[in-house]
Amino acid sequence: MSDNPSFVLKGINDVVFEQRPIPEVTGDEVLVAVKKTGICGSDVHYLLEGRIGDFVVKSPMVLGHESSGVVAKVGPKVKHLKVGDRVAMEPGATCRACEACKLGKYELCPDIIFAATPPYDGTLARYYKLPADLAYPLPDNVTLEDGAMMEPLSVGVHSVANLGNFRAGQSIAVFGCGPVGLLCMAVAKALGASRVIAIDIVPARLDFAKQYAATDSFLPPKPLEGESKVDYSRRNAAALKEALGIAERGASAIDLVIDASGAEVSIQTALHVVKSGGTFVQVGMGNPNVTIDIGVLITKELNYKGSFRYGPGDYPLAINLVAAGKVDLKPLVTHRYKFEDAITAFNATKNGKSEDGKGVIKVVISGPDVDINSN
């Protein structure tokens, strides 16, 4: 049976719409009619480069992994879901048997089947099949568009609540005010942050961050001619601390710093900003090789962590935060496109603005024959 229009990456800058077979569900699987899909930076990277690190597109691959939809069919072992249920779709199915899975770190499973990560197809199609326990029912007050945004929100939950071990009354600084950075701020605010500092080189992004979740913002100074990145990062950190009254210790120190930019100077600056004994989490992906001051890591005894996707409990907490009104995802969706306009949607994300010049934060594509304004 084939009535499954899909958005397929054939090669670098080569995408087509084509029909794919409708997946057959067995056992504890569900078939979801995909209604909303957000575009992630990784989708654009595969389109432009054909690879991310060791993940190389060698055969045609359906793009997309930030999705929600309506259950269209359930396997015979599925008891907690029924046809018609609205669900958020966690896009990574793990082996459930390896050491990482058994230890509750399933994001590190070596055999994970992750949507739109080569060689596995993604969710930009009419239908997508996944294990039933990765289809999370959406409360009535959570829209399908919100449901698609649960994927990047779960990245924020994982970075802040899980790896950052963030608690009410603590402070956070976030480098990079793109979607993930903004969602990290939103999670921290929802968890009772005393202070949320946004850092970015684009003033308009800082303005949005202040309206959305940040209590403070900082626009870094321009590098001096001939100034090394290491020297600039020290000067940048000193300027940030002075401007916002940040100390190395005590009540005005920063408990958690997250880099959501991937920029080398942001990473370098962050290590000087976080308090002694504090935590730094790297969530943004940039140049894989950066220079950092090991002496700062040692003398400040920092908790330096990498953040990869999300793990157990992150999706449920993300949904609960939105359902409880503690995180509002709607302001982040700046552009909505029909399925047949997916190429235009990707171009808007790639360029950071649509054809009319409006800046992009998050783009959402509706499923085939789905109204872009439906929820």
Q: What is the mean pLDDT of residues 232-256?
A: 97
- Is the pLDDT at 219 greater than 80? The verdict is yes
Domain 164-306 has CATH 3.40.50.20: no
Would you state the pLDDT for residue 9?
98
Q: Tell me, what amino acid is at 32? A: V
Other CB atoms within 10 A of residue 182 CB: 28
Contact 374, 366 (CB under 8 A): yes
From 140, 257, 137, select the one nearest 195 (Cα to Cα). 257
Dihedral of CA 98/121/184/302: which sign? positive
Helix, strand or coil for residue 256?
Answer: strand
* Sheet strands (E) in 168-229: 171-175, 195-199, 216-218
Q: What is the mean pLDDT of residues 1-27?
A: 94
Angle between helices 179-190 and 144-157 (to 10 degrees): 80
Is the model more confident about 104 or about 288? 104
Contact 349, 360 (CB under 8 A): yes
* Average pLDDT of the residues of the chain: 97
Q: What is the mean pLDDT of residues 318-337?
A: 98
Q: Which fold has domain 5-154+310-366?
A: Quinone Oxidoreductase; Chain A, domain 1 (3.90.180)
Helix, strand or coil for residue 88?
Answer: strand
Which pLDDT tens digit goes with each residue over 162-190? 999 999 999 999 999 999 999 999 999 99
Q: What confidence tier does 2 reach under pLDDT thresholds 50, 70, 90?
A: low
Residues 6 or more apart in contact with residue 334 via CB below 8 angstroms = 358, 359, 360, 361, 362, 363
The fraction of the chain above a pLDDT of 90, given in percent, is 97
Q: What confidence tier does 13 reach under pLDDT thresholds 50, 70, 90?
A: very high
Would you state the pLDDT for residue 91?
98
Burial category of 343 from C-beta neighbours within 10 Å (exposed 0-12, middle 13-18, buried 19 and up): middle
Contact 343, 19 (CB under 8 A): no
Would you state the pLDDT for residue 284?
95
- Is the pLDDT at 116 greater than 60? The verdict is yes
Q: What confidence tier does 375 reach under pLDDT thresholds 50, 70, 90?
A: confident
Which pLDDT tens digit goes with each residue over 22-47? 999 999 999 999 999 999 999 999 99
Would you state the pLDDT for residue 373?
86
Which pLDDT tens digit goes with each residue over 117-133? 999 999 999 999 999 99
Q: What is the mean pLDDT of residues 51-61?
A: 94
From 351, 350, 367, select the one nearest 42 (Cα to Cα). 350
Ordered by start, the domain boundaries in the chain are: 5-154+310-366, 164-306
- Is the pLDDT at 1 greater than 60? The verdict is no
From 307, 275, 294, select the one nearest 230 (Cα to Cα). 294
